[in-house]
Amino acid sequence: MYTVLHIDNSHFFNTIVRSCIEKNGFTCIVSNDISEAVEKLENTHIDLIITALEIRGGGGEYLIRQLNSGKYRNIPVIIMTSNDSLKTRMNMFKLGVVDYISKDQTFSNSLSIFLSKLTEKNRSRQLLQKLSFAVLDDSKTQLQVISNIMSLNKIENVTYFTSGKELLTSKNRYHIYFVDLVLPDISGEQAILQLRKKFPESLIIAISGIDNYKVVSNVLLSGADDYILKPFNASILMARLVSNVRVFQLIQDLKKKNNELEESLITDPLTGLYNHRYIYKQLESIIAESNSMNSHFSFVFFSVDNFNNINDVYGHKHGDKVLQKITQVLISEIEDRSCIGRYGGVEFIVLFPGEKLENAWHIAEKIRMRVNRIKVNSVKISISGGLCQREDEERAEDLIRKADSLLFNAKHNGKNRIEKSFDWSSYL
C-alpha cells in the first residue's frame, strides 16, 4: 500500500488532501513544517511526497533540494501551490518534481486523477510494467524527472542513455523509446529514423521543449509515434504513454489473431498436426527440392486398425483420445514437426526428406511398435503403414497412390504391420 506524506501549513488543504488520498486507498501522513516532515521520513516508509511551496522551515524548494542531496532523493515529489508562474514551474521540474498542481478550483480533481492513475489496474498499465524502455536525453535533470515518474508508476525495466550513438549501437531491442530531439552527437530526428528502420514494431516517443508545429509534424513523419513537450506533467505523460501502449497492444493482439487464424487454416484442430491441405503442399515442396538436389525421399501412410470398432463400442471421445495418443508418439519420434500431418480421419502421413527407404522403415517400425503399446479402456491400439521411396520423376499423386496401395496390402495381410516398396537403390 502507498504511503503519502503531505506537507502544508494550511489545515484546510490538509483536510481536503487527506480525504482525497484516503479515498484512493492510500495512507496519508500530514506534516506542518520541514522538521516534522524529516522526522516522519526517518520513522516511516514514504512512497510519495506532496508538498506546498509555502511551508515553515525554509519553504518547499529548500525541502526538495535537501531531499535531492540525501537518501530520500528517489522519493517522487508533487508540488501543490497557488504560485502558478511558468518560471516557478520550470524551476520545480528542473529540481525533479514529477507533477505540479495549482491550488485553484480544480486542484482536488487534478490530485484525484493523479492518485487514481497510481492504482489503476487496467491492462495497459499492467503491460507498461512488463515492457522495456530506453530513454535518450543528454540532460541528467530530465533523465531524473523521467526516472521519478517511472519509479512512481512502478516501471522498472528502463535503461537511460545520454548519447545517441550509444543507444543506436546497443544490441538490445526495447519496446518503447523516449528520444530527445536536441542531442550533442546526433539529431533526435536522425536517431528516430534509424530506430524506426531497425525496430519497426517498437513505440518511439519524441520529447522536446520545442513547440513548433513544423518540427512536430516533421518528427512524426520521420517515424515517431508521439511528441511530448517538456517540462513534463506526470499525469499527461502517463496518460499519453498509456494511450500509445493501448494502440501498441491492439496491434500486437491483431497480429496474434492473424497468426492464430493462419495457423488454424493449416492445422488439424484435434491433433494439432498439419492438415490434409498443408501436408500435401509440404509433400510437393519436398519433391521439388529433391529434384533440384537429386536427393532421396521416402514417406509413409499410417492408418489406425479397427478404429470403427473403438468408436462404436466406446464412443467418439475415446476415438479422439486414440488419435491424440498416436500424435504424441509421432511428435516424439519425428524431429521436424512440419513433416507430420493428419491426412484423413484415421490416416497420418510422415515425410522423410533425404532418407532412403531402409532408414525410413526403421523409424516407421519404431513408431508402429510404440503405438502397439498404447491401451485405451484396456483396448490395445495398432496401426498399419504403407512406406515407399520416390523413384524417377514420380509426382505427389503418384506417391500417394503407391503408399495407399501398400497400406491396403498391410491391412489385407493381417494389420499391425508396415508394407514397403522394393528399394532398388540398395542394389545399385
pLDDT score for 281: 92
Residue 6: C-alpha distances to residues 38, 101, 188, 239, 416 (Å) = 12, 13, 39, 24, 80
Q: What is the mean pLDDT of residues 256-274?
A: 88
The answer to whether 38 touches 132, Cβ cutoff 8 Å, is: no
Q: What percent of the chain has pLDDT over 90?
A: 46
pLDDT score for 231: 83
Kindly report the average pLDDT of the chain as a whole number.
88
Residues 6+ apart with CB under 8 A from 130: 157
Q: What is the mean pLDDT of residues 159-165?
A: 93
pLDDT score for 422: 63
Check whether 137 has a pLDDT greater than 50. yes
The answer to whether 243 touches 127, Cβ cutoff 8 Å, is: no
Write out pLDDT tens, residues 68-78.
Answer: 888 888 888 99
pLDDT score for 394: 85
Question: DSSP character for 425?
Answer: G
Q: Please, which pLDDT band fits residue 418 given cuts at 50, 70 and 90?
A: very high
Q: What percent of the chain has pLDDT over 70?
A: 95
pLDDT score for 110: 84
The residue length of the chain stands at 428
Omega of the bond leading into 353 within 30 degrees of 0 (cis):
no
Write out pLDDT tens, residues 79-131.
Answer: 998 888 888 888 888 888 888 888 888 888 888 888 877 665 456 677 888 89
Sequential DSSP letters for 69-88: TSTTTTS-EEEEES---HHH
Check whether 428 has a pLDDT greater than 60. no
Check whether 318 has a pLDDT greater than 60. yes
pLDDT score for 2: 78
Residue 246: C-alpha distances to residues 228, 249, 322, 333 (Å) = 17, 5, 44, 43
The C-alpha atoms of residue 118 and residue 20 are separated, in whole angstroms, by 13
C-alpha cell belonging to residue 225: 509515434
C-alpha cell belonging to residue 147: 526516472
Pairing between β-strand 383-389 and β-strand 77-81 as defined by DSSP bridges: unpaired
pLDDT score for 427: 40
User: How large is the angle between the packed helices 316-333 and 307-314, nearest 10 degrees?
Assistant: 140
Q: Which domains does the chain have, with CATH numbers?
A: 3-119 (3.40.50.2300), 123-261 (3.40.50.2300), 276-427 (3.30.70.270)
The Cβ of residue 207 has, within 10 Å, a number of other Cβ atoms equal to 23
pLDDT score for 149: 87
Return the ∠ at Cα 53 (arms to 50 and 54), rounded to 5°.
120
Cell numbers 514529477 label which residue? 98
When computed from its CA atoms, the radius of gyration of the chain, rounded to whole angstroms, is 34
pLDDT score for 124: 67
Which of 8-22, 233-247, 294-308 is least confident?
233-247
Q: Please, which pLDDT band fits residue 136 given cuts at 50, 70 and 90?
A: very high
Residue with the larger pLDDT of the pair 311 and 125 = 311
Residues 6+ apart with CB under 8 A from 205: 176, 177, 178, 179, 224, 225, 226, 227, 228, 240, 241, 244
The answer to whether 144 touches 187, Cβ cutoff 8 Å, is: no
Write out pLDDT tens, residues 177-228.
Answer: 999 999 988 989 999 999 999 999 899 999 998 888 888 999 999 899 999 9
Q: What is the mean pLDDT of residues 374-402?
A: 88
Write out pLDDT tens, residues 17-47.
Answer: 999 899 888 899 999 999 999 999 999 999 8
Write out pLDDT tens, residues 323-371.
Answer: 999 999 999 999 888 889 999 889 999 999 988 899 999 999 999 999 9
The C-alpha atoms of residue 259 and residue 237 are separated, in whole angstroms, by 33
pLDDT score for 206: 94
Q: Please, which pLDDT band fits residue 409 given cuts at 50, 70 and 90?
A: very high
Q: What are the φ/ψ torsions at residue 402 (nearest 5 degrees)?
A: -70, -45
pLDDT score for 376: 80
Residues 6+ apart with CB under 8 A from 31: 5, 6, 7, 37, 39, 40
Quick one: which of 228, 80, 214 has its CA closest to 142?
A: 228
The pTM (predicted TM-score) of the whole model is 0.51
C-alpha cell belonging to residue 15: 483536510
